[in-house]
Amino acid sequence: MTRKQVLTTLLGLVLIAAMALVPMYVKKDSTINLIVMVLLYVSLASSWNILGGFAGQVNLGHAAFFGLGTLVTRSLWLSGWPLWAAMLAGGIVPVLLGLLIGIPAFKLRGAYFSIGTLALGQVLYVIVGNRWPLITSLPVKYLGSYSLAPRYYLFLGVALVTVGAAYILMRSRFGLGLAAIREEEDAAESLGVSARRHKILALSLSAFFAGLTGGAFAFYHVGYYPQFPFGPVWSFDAVTIAFIGGTGTIIGPIVGGIFYVVLKELLALRLVEIHLTVFGILFVLIVLFLPGGLVEAWQKVRDAFARRPGRPKVGRPLPQGEN
């Protein structure tokens, strides 16, 4: 490992340790809830990024996987299943849906694929709303033992697993195949990369981690309408966060998640009625002028600082006699 990689790893471990200590030292539930929302959005955007960022397949129906994870996990957990088993099932069921739709959906490209996935999410939103129209609330025995700390650690674990899996995937040979498909699918096919197989596996991984995030959501909330997690807002939030931070990167969804949640809270307090419009304008500006998101903006600032006048340039040492 290089010195930079060692420092990055140490910094990551320090941040994880600090995050693990939050419930012990932060006493305000509102602050912990805010961090939980950051972790939720980081996980959701990172799971979307596996397909949308690494493979370049913009999925506008990501809420279908997130919603299935909440529905399956909540139903099995409240029926007596252990939470870990219910969450595992909540991750597997979206994968089965992903495999079911993957073969026909990937015959579509570009905007047609995005519209097709958006339609899938809307179909499930309507079906679940008609089938389960009442609020799902925790029974009294769960309310009596409800604690925020276990929910926080669950979201932290899901976020770490999702980001860690995305990191491993990105640095793998399979990740290189996804990048080739994202840049030029026909050229990748000509080099022996199976676009269909890569995209289906990326879709399955994206669906699995979205389902896990949905399972944590089901464990976290006291009560909500079952169709709520299937709403298109969850898909659009994941897309927005990934683009704000930087698609196709590991750090992008993390930076985007923090930026999105904090700015959303500030705008919601001061611009109650129009804060969503502000986010819409921000999203359009980033797509037009900073397609690489905040990660690209930081790189441009860093490069500009490195090239500023008066900064010493590092070049080859002069041989003796040229001094």
Rounded to whole angstroms, how far apart are CA atoms 64 and 101?
12
* Confidence at residue 313, expressed as pLDDT on a 0 to 100 scale: 52
Q: Is residue 67 part of a domain?
A: yes
Averaged pLDDT, 67-82: 95
Q: What percent of the chain has pLDDT over 70?
A: 93
* Confidence at residue 310, expressed as pLDDT on a 0 to 100 scale: 55
Q: Is residue 282 part of a domain?
A: no
Q: Is residue 241 part of a domain?
A: no
* Confidence at residue 277, expressed as pLDDT on a 0 to 100 scale: 79
Q: Is residue 307 part of a domain?
A: no
Is the confidence at residue 270, as pLDDT, over 80?
no
Domain residues for the domain of 79 are 38-230
Is the confidence at residue 37, as pLDDT, over 90?
yes
Is the confidence at residue 316, as pLDDT, over 50?
no
* Confidence at residue 319, expressed as pLDDT on a 0 to 100 scale: 47
Averaged pLDDT, 229-240: 93
Is the confidence at residue 196, as pLDDT, over 90?
no
* Confidence at residue 51, expressed as pLDDT on a 0 to 100 scale: 94
* Confidence at residue 77, expressed as pLDDT on a 0 to 100 scale: 95
Q: Is residue 114 part of a domain?
A: yes
Of 155, 162, 160, 151, nearest to 209 (Cα)?
162
Q: Report the domain count for the chain.
A: 1
Is the confidence at residue 68, as pLDDT, over 50?
yes
* Confidence at residue 273, expressed as pLDDT on a 0 to 100 scale: 66
Entry pTM: 0.89
Is the confidence at residue 221, as pLDDT, over 50?
yes
Is the confidence at residue 321, as pLDDT, over 50?
no
Q: Is residue 269 part of a domain?
A: no
Q: What is the pLDDT of residues 86-124, one digit of tens each?
A: 999 999 999 999 888 877 777 777 777 888 888 888 999
* Confidence at residue 9, expressed as pLDDT on a 0 to 100 scale: 81
Q: Is residue 297 part of a domain?
A: no
Q: Is residue 267 part of a domain?
A: no
For the chain, give the mean pLDDT.
87
